[in-house]
Structure 1
Amino acid sequence: MVDKARFPILRSQRLVLRRIHENDANSIFKLRTDAVVNTFIQRPQGRADNNGLEFVNRIQYDLSKNKIYHWVIVSSESSELLGSICLWNFNVEKTIAEVGYELFPKYYGQGIMSEALTEVIDFGFRQLQLTSIEAFTHRDNERSTKLLIKNGFELSPNRSDVDNLNNIIFIKQKAC
């Protein structure tokens, strides 16, 4: 894993993927409590104004323990927070990770998450030497399913998510 002090900043044509900071707490709170974003996600909804900060602190702790790579997705032009993306749930050998992502609905359909996902996949395979990346998504989440297929993930029909039976699992293997 990469040292916390040298957390990787990923860049694409329109985006900067950077480490989460405390000043992101309000935007993160809005993102994680947005009704549209949460349509297909099982998680407790925020009930207090400090939940965004609690989430940021938890992510920073997990970063310090090398449990997660979590980036906020910001516009390279305006630095506005557009969403987030992460690699987490690493297996013991650190060869497999799960990717998770969320985006403010006003940015849907603009190719932003595909652009961010491309950078994170490249980082996972090249820098972390992962052999595969998994994605768990709700079976009715067509937008997420299309994103994964577009980015080379394949449905793993014989696997199931024991924590959420509505999820389907996609896998992308590192090219040889």
Structure 2
Amino acid sequence: MENINFTPFPDLSTERLKLRQLDIRDKNEIFALRSDEKVLEFQEREKLKSIDEALNFISKIKKGISNNEWVFWAITQKGDNKLVGGICLWNISKESSRADIGFELFPNYQGMGIMQEALTAVIEYGFKNMKLNSIVAFTHMNNSKSIKLLKRNNFIKDESINNSHQEVVYILKG
């Protein structure tokens, strides 16, 4: 795996989507996304309680990107800069050329193929540009939509990684 450098930020584009850097102007959407009960249903994280917490999250993400610790894309539809979701590569291990993938989408944008399109672009970026050997996804055992998406993209359940929670682990090898 080569040295990772997310500067300049690696904007990605698909047929319908633009994956861009998260910005302070996304604070309202980040707050709404990360406090939405439906989005949080299968997440093991605290619900955001304020716009200030959303701003802190954005600041943390930007700092991690500038330190090349992770990369987080705001998912937007072409022609509309409004954030509809997010997707990231994080827990990047240079030693094993591996990264974890995470994603979330507002419920009213689910079922439209948006995450499929975003996931395809990020997987390609991870293997082609970052030279990853594998991408790992942790998802709740009852999150059937996420599991179906991962399987459709050739992720295979990894029984070798033990999780103490209700998560299952899927892995995609490059």
Q: Does the alignment reach a TM-score above 0.5?
A: yes
In the TM superposition, 1:12-161 aligns within 5 A as 12-93=14-95, 95-161=97-163
Contact 2:6 2:65 in 1 (8 A): no
Q: Residue in 2 aligned with 1:2?
A: 5
Gaps in structure 2 of 5+ consecutive residues: none
Query: Which string of whole-angstrom CA distances, capped at 9 and with x for unpartnered residues, describes residues 49-86 of structure 1?
Result: 21111100000111111110100000002222110000
Query: Deviation of residue 2 (structure 1)?
Result: 2.1
Q: Residue in 2 aligned with 1:170?
A: 170
Query: Deviation of residue 94 (structure 1)?
Result: 5.9
| Amino acid corresponding to residue 83 of structure 1 in structure 2 | G
- Percentage of pairs with the same residue: 39
Q: Distance in 2 between matches of 1:38 and 1:106?
A: 14
Q: Distance in 2 between matches of 1:72 and 1:161?
A: 28
Structure 1 pair 2/68, CA: closer, same or farther in 2 (3 Å)?
Answer: same
Aligned residue pair count: 171
Contact 1:69 1:87 in 2 (8 A): yes
Structure 1 pair 3/104, CA: closer, same or farther in 2 (3 Å)?
Answer: closer
**TM-score by structure 1 length?**
0.94
Contact 1:136 1:161 in 2 (8 A): no
**TM-score by structure 2 length?**
0.95
Q: Distance in 1 between matches of 2:162 and 2:109?
A: 30
Query: Deviation of residue 91 (structure 1)?
Result: 1.5
| Amino acid corresponding to residue 166 of structure 1 in structure 2 | Q
| Amino acid corresponding to residue 2 of structure 1 in structure 2 | N
Query: Deviation of residue 8 (structure 1)?
Result: 0.5
Query: Deviation of residue 167 (structure 1)?
Result: 0.4
Root-mean-square deviation over aligned CA pairs: 1.1
Structure 1 pair 11/161, CA: closer, same or farther in 2 (3 Å)?
Answer: same
Contact 2:27 2:51 in 1 (8 A): no
